[in-house]
Structure 1
């Protein structure tokens, strides 16, 4: 399965979470994430899908794409304080998206995915995507991996927030997501910490978190 199809399957799983009646019932309630409502978290989750559409509509960027590891090295939101401008802005965007309500948001997500299935089929994996929100470019395949990381993490957040369980990712999505997170964890905590966390519980560090 290509990364494009892996993204589409993962995005469809995310959109399907909005079908759960518990999501609608708890829309304005606090989520499992501090400072987020269930609706705001759902809006942020759907933004990961909506953010792909501009990449399909704009001409290929002439910028040189950077690597995924460089992308996360430059990301301002990693380790930013919860009440800082970066995270406050992210939450506000999610709440703004959710303000249309669960049913319109669900319908919008499914419509966008239908359009993306057509658009993605026409692009190569090495198509260069400029991201105005960051100021740099990635290949389409790498950009889609960043979306799958966000979708995977926040699907679990949303499911837990309403007392459910997120569906397992297709292997074609899970493999690159875990590979990237593993690289980021090793870069942050060191190889020994990661190896011990996975194989030597008695010497494992307290955390190997990436974000």
Structure 2
């Protein structure tokens, strides 16, 4: 049996898939049109997807916060999680994406490609339990946990972007599917309770209307 890929390998493979999607001509051709996500243009959504690559280079260069928290604790602190679409945390995410989208698709592709090239060199030499700052927040995550959050974001937003421009959603690496579904299931259980998730996965006649993790 082949060894299971590391989180670094899974992240890099998922990022390569996201980069291929970002450079698809359909994305540049519909840059200014509305996306499948309310409040995002295709360009703004593409920028948000690319951020899941470029932000990791910034995280690795930053001084980690002293407090290290686990993955579920990290999400329990997210002000956007469960907030209304127009709540400030969500509005700020869209606003930032739209502002960066002004640079255009060619600049985006170049920046994402350069960031991924750097990460391919740097990430394999780092220990999975190295503390790294959790993006802009005042706490740290283990490196593997940080990469897990980015793989989930790339998986979800790759689907959003592909649907937005009318092309097939890229297939995720098998280990990425396992990582993302495990994380989303844990978040769904915390939000809706174990019975709701169990019924949604096994009993259509008693399934709740939604078990969305967000």
Is the aligned partner of 1:25 residue 2:25? no
Matches within 5 A, 1:1-211: 1-59=5-63, 61=64, 63-131=66-134, 133-211=136-214
8 Å CA contact retained: 1:11, 1:49? yes
How many Å apart are 1:104 and its aligned residue?
1.6
Instruction: Specify the SS of the correspondent of 2:80.
Output: coil
Kindly provide the CA deviation profile for residues 27-80 of structure 1, in whole angstroms up to 9, marking residues without a partner as x. 000000011100000001101111100222235x36231111111111011122
1:128-171 deviations in Å (ceiling 9; x for gaps)? 00135121110000000000111111000000001112212112
Give RMSD over aligned pairs. Answer: 1.3
State how far apart, in whole Å, the 1-side matches of 2:188 and 2:34 are.
Answer: 29
Contact preservation (8 Å) 1:185, 1:194: yes
Q: How many pairs were matched up?
A: 210
Matched position secondary structure for 2:133: strand
Which stretch of the first structure deviates more once superposed, 135-144 or 11-20? Answer: 11-20
**Unaligned stretches of 5+ in structure 2?**
none
State TM-score, norm by structure 1: 0.95
